[in-house]
Amino acid sequence: MSETISPRIGARAATHWEYLLPIAVVHLLACLAAVPWCFSWSGVALALGGTIVFGTLGINLCYHRLLAHRSLKVPRGLERSLATIALCSLEDTPARWVANHRLHHAHSDKPLDPHSPRDGIGWSHAGWLFRRAADRRTYAYFEKYARDILADDYYRWLERNPMAILYIYALHAACFTVAGFLVGRLAGGDWAHARQLAASWLVWGVFVRTVLVWHITWSVNSLTHLFGYRTYSTGEDSRNNWLVGLVAMGEGWHNNHHHDPASASVQHRWWEIDVTYYLILALERFGLATDVIRPRHQRQA
């Protein structure tokens, strides 16, 4: 694909069913939350808390700041564990996620950007996922944008076994279901109550939470290139969006990130809260994270 061809146009002919079907099915299953029998306050708590565990730790900290930008280092076992947590959000394998994100930074809001809002807000939010891009599945593409990721045996195994991500997702959904059933029984409930709690934890703790994490992540691709303020002139359309910044645990301070993508922090002003960075600092304090890259203004000082 040449630099003058939009990825939207170049990939229009083929629908990426491997993404479209799972995303559509999980959205439909999440609609079961409207059924009163599937409701429980503990399920709601799991949905909200799960966005922090699976979204903030898995996607923000691991996929984004640790793997894509190498803004810190953690022990290999911890890194693989965090990557497995990220897989439970069905946001693709580590190598594909990292390669697409690095491509975005290399060509942000230019024709080769895989999800620029200049091609439409719907396209940048999720539409780009549903158009097959054969050039982003080649050896040359991964060699250029994710060579360091595929140097790891575990991540390479995931690429060689594309169904593994679905198996991992199904296994973690089963764990939520079994846990809900056992808690229902141990709390003194009858079999009917245990089944109801199991269904609630599955619907809210897995399906609703997955949809929440998706749209939070996708909002960084779409909203933070359209709405908000710009602290830095970065050569593309990135913006700091306070709403996305709060909901996405810091990822919405996107103009700050594009100004200094290597930094583990995107908090450049005291009120630009970056919860993901606070978690990184906690890992560092306990000796689980090293080589944490501070913001550019701190490095220069």
Which residue reads 């497995």 in tokens? Answer: 84
Residue 276 located in a structural domain: yes
Q: How confident is the model at residue 184 (pLDDT cuts 50, 70, 90)?
A: very high
Does the predicted model carry a pTM greater than 0.85?
A: yes
The residue-averaged pLDDT of 216-239 equals 97
In this model, does residue 202 exceed pLDDT 60?
yes
pLDDT of res. 13? 52
> What's CA 20's distance to the chain center, in Å?
17
Residue 38 located in a structural domain: no
The residue-averaged pLDDT of 171-189 equals 94
**Structurally, how many domains does the chain consist of?**
1
Structure tokens at 165: 């991500």
Residue 90 located in a structural domain: yes
Distance CA 227, CA 237 (A): 9
pLDDT of res. 204? 98
- Cα–Cα distances (Å) from 300 to 26, 233, 262, in that order, read 46, 19, 14
251-288 residue pLDDT tens:
999 999 999 999 999 999 999 999 999 999 999 999 99
In this model, does residue 3 exceed pLDDT 80?
no
- The alpha helices in the chain, defined as continuous H runs, are 7-10, 17-30, 41-50, 76-87, 94-106, 121-125, 139-145, 147-150, 153-160, 164-186, 191-202, 209-222, 242-247, 254-259, 275-285, 296-300
Distance CA 241, CA 285 (A): 29
Q: Please say whether the beta carbons of 86 and 59 come within 8 A.
A: yes
**17-56: b or e for each residue (b if 16 or more CB lie within 10 Å)?**
eebeeebeebeebbebbeeeebbbebbeebbeebbbebbb
Residue 249 located in a structural domain: yes
Distance CA 100, CA 44 (A): 32
79-126 residue pLDDT tens:
999 999 999 999 999 999 999 999 999 999 999 999 999 999 999 999
Distance CA 225, CA 242 (A): 13
In this model, does residue 2 exceed pLDDT 70?
no
Residue 127 located in a structural domain: yes
Q: Please say whether the beta carbons of 61 and 280 come within 8 A.
A: yes
Q: Please say whether the beta carbons of 99 and 145 come within 8 A.
A: yes
Please give the share of the chain, as a percent, with pLDDT higher than 70.
96
Residue 57 located in a structural domain: yes
pLDDT of res. 91? 96
Structure tokens at 57: 């730790």
Phi then psi dihedrals of residue 229, to 5 deg: -110, 155
Domain that residue 203 falls in: 7-32+44-300
8-34 residue pLDDT tens:
544 445 899 999 999 999 999 999 999
Residue 37 located in a structural domain: no
In this model, does residue 173 exceed pLDDT 60?
yes
Q: How confident is the model at residue 297 (pLDDT cuts 50, 70, 90)?
A: confident
CA angle 160/158/151 to nearest 5° reads 90
Q: How confident is the model at residue 299 (pLDDT cuts 50, 70, 90)?
A: confident
Residue 13 located in a structural domain: yes
249-261 residue pLDDT tens:
999 999 999 999 9
pLDDT of res. 5? 39
Least confident of 98-107, 135-144, 215-224: 135-144
